[in-house]
A = this chain, B = another copy of it.
Amino acid sequence: MKTKYIEIDTKGNAEIIDITPHLEDMVEKAEILEGILFLSIIGSTAALTTMEFEPGLVEDMTKTFENLFPYKKDYAHNATWSDDNGHSHLRSSFLKTSFFVSVTCGKLDLGRWQQVVLIDFDTRSRQRKVVVKIVQ
C-alpha cells in the first residue's frame, strides 16, 4: 500500500475543485493497471464526491448547499465558538470526507462526464490535504 498526498489551496465558501487530473497523474506515474485509490480529505469542513464538472452544475450545487444548509441560521456551533462556519460542518458531515475510485486497465472507473471533486465549505481560504492510499 502506497501513500500519496494532494495538497490544494482553496478559496473556501463552497469552492468546488476538480481533482481528477491529480488522480490520473498518480495512476500514470505509479503505473497502476488494477487497483483502488482511497481518498480522505483532512478536516471537518470539506468533502469529496463526483459530479459533471461544468459551470452550470457548479452553480446548481452551490445553490443547493445554501438551500439545504443555509449560511445564515442560528447554529449553536457559531454561538458557542463565535464562529461562522456551522453550515460548513453540516455540509461536510452529510457529503462526507472520504471517497474511493477504482482503476481498471490503467484508467479511473469514472464516466466520461464524471469528475472527482473536492469541495471546501469553510468560510475562508484553506490549504487542504487529501491523503490517497493506493491498494493494488
In Å, the complex CA distance between A97 and B89 comes to 19
Nearest B residue to A45, CB-CB: B52
Nearest B residue to A135, CB-CB: B135
Nearest B residue to A133, CB-CB: B102
Q: In terms of DSSP, what is the predominant structure of the interface of chain A? A: mixed
Q: Chain copies in the assembly? A: 3
A86 near B60 with CB under 8 A, answer yes
In Å, the complex CA distance between A102 and B133 comes to 7
A95 near B94 with CB under 8 A, answer yes
The smallest C-beta distance from A133 to any residue of chain B, in angstroms, reads 5
A42 near B109 with CB under 8 A, answer yes
Which of chain B's residues have a CB closer than 8 A to the CB of A13? none
Which of chain B's residues have a CB closer than 8 A to the CB of A114? 42-44, 97
